[in-house]
């Protein structure tokens, strides 16, 4: 009995922040949030924090149910289900949303961000907010940006010490055009594939390798089927936390505010978790048996040169957005 009373008091206190009218506008609701990575990954940890904040702010009335490990399917079917309102929420590489709004291709440009802090300033500022606003016409509402981190390349065939070592490798890529093109530019063979299929494809030698941040490589135990890791840091991936517009439009102003505030708070937490784990991730992958190489400054320059025609090609149709992003970056780098 005491527990029930205490729970009621806690709920009342949480709702008091919204005032009486706001509290009355908060209904019992549950939301499915699909994620590609397994429990323990920084994205899932961030989602757990998001769920915790939503529950606290709504006095336990609003519940986020997490579905990690790709159990709801790959990113494309999850986004489709979200647009239809059968899956309420997901968090995914912002660049994948280029299939909905072409401007999101900029988030997949190689070497676009120099540091995570630079990315934070861009996505949390006017540019990032404007990008998310473009999704509304596609039935998607952007709530916040989390992070996946800088991507690196793994393979099961050979150590990569120079750009030419990548030639001929069959590499899984995120299924969108710019990623296919930059792999081709390296003389490698791109294989677009949904993330939940990647481990099995590497285990069966259907593909030679893939590219992802260290936290993804570690959390998904890719070291079991990949021997070689090169610290290429060729892309930085912001993650868009998004909700179905069909669902969003059914919410009261108070409920929308709870989700928005929780998303913003959880973004700060999620990025810190991701970055704090970075050094330990590399050590753990070495411990798991991966042989790690780095590209020299000359090889990195060669890599950038190979990527330039790809960036030019994909930047041309979205020239205004590219110019906006470059202007933001120029201000930050003064």
Kindly report the CATH number assigned to the domain that includes residue 185.
Answer: 3.40.190.170
Cα atoms in the 13 Å half-sphere on the side-chain side of 94: 32
Domains in the chain: how many in total?
1
In-domain check, residue 205: yes
In-domain check, residue 223: yes
| pTM score, whole prediction | 0.89
Assign 3-class secondary structure to 132-199: HHCCHHHCEEEEEEEEEEEEEEEECCCCCCCHHHHCCCEEEECCCHHHHHHHHHCCCEEEECCHHHHH
pLDDT of residue 11: 52
**Element housing 247 (H / E):** helix 245-248
pLDDT of residue 18: 53
In-domain check, residue 150: yes
Report helix, strand or coil for 130. Answer: helix
pLDDT of residue 179: 94
Contacts of 51 (CB under 8 A, 6+ apart): 33, 63, 64, 65, 66
Residue-range definition of the domain harbouring residue 57:
2-15+27-332
pLDDT of residue 278: 83
Look-up: residue for tokens 């070592």? 165
pLDDT of residue 17: 54
> Mean pLDDT per 10-residue run, the chain (334 residues)?
47 52 81 96 97 97 97 95 98 96 96 95 97 98 96 98 98 94 97 95 98 95 98 95 98 98 98 91 96 96 96 97 97 93
In-domain check, residue 156: yes
pLDDT of residue 22: 60
pLDDT of residue 253: 97
Q: Are 60 and 7 in contact (CB under 8 A)?
A: yes
Distance CA 143, CA 134 (A): 12
In-domain check, residue 123: yes
At residue 43's C-alpha, the angle toward residues 41 and 48, to 5°, is 95
Q: Are 43 and 144 in contact (CB under 8 A)?
A: no
pLDDT of residue 279: 79
In-domain check, residue 22: no
Distance CA 208, CA 160 (A): 13
In-domain check, residue 20: no
**Integer CA distances (angstroms), 179 to 144, 191, 313, in order:** 24, 10, 12
In-domain check, residue 237: yes
């Amino acid at each position: 009995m005491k527990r029930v009373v205490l729970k009621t008091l806690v709920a009342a206190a949480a709702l008091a922040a919204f005032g009486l009218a706001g509290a009355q506008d908060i209904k019992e609701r549950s939301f499915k949030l699909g994620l590609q990575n397994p429990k323990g990954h920084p994205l899932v940890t961030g989602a757990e924090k998001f769920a915790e904040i939503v529950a606290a702010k709504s006095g336990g009335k609003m519940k986020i149910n997490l579905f990690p490990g790709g159990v709801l399917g790959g990113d494309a079917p999850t986004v489709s289900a979200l647009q239809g309102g059968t899956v309420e929420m997901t968090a995914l590489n912002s660049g994948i949303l280029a299939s909905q709004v072409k401007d999101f291709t900029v988030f997949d440009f190689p070497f676009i961000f120099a540091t995570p802090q630079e990315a934070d300033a861009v996505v949390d500022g006017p540019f990032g907010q404007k990008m998310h606003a473009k999704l509304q016409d596609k039935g998607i509402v952007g709530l916040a940006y989390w992070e996946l981190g800088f991507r690196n390349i793994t393979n099961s065939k050979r150590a990569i010490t120079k750009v030419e070592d990548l030639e001929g490798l069959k590499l899984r890529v995120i299924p969108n055009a710019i990623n296919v093109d930059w792999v081709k530019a390296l003389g490698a063979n791109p294989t677009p594939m949904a993330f939940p299929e990647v481990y099995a494809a590497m285990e069966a030698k259907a593909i030679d390798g893939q590219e992802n941040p260290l936290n993804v490589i570690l959390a998904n135990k890719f070291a079991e089927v990949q021997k070689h890791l090169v610290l290429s840091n060729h892309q930085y991936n912001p993650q868009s936390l998004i909700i179905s517009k069909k669902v969003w439009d059914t919410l009261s102003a108070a409920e929308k505010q709870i989700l928005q505030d929780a998303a913003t708070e959880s973004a700060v937490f999620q990025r810190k978790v991701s970055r704090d784990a970075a050094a330990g991730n590399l050590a753990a992958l070495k411990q798991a048996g991966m042989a790690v190489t780095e590209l020299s400054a000359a090889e990195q320059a060669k890599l950038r040169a190979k990527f330039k025609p790809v960036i030019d090609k994909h930047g041309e149709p979205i020239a205004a957005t590219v110019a906006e992003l470059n202007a933001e970056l120029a201000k930050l780098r003064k």
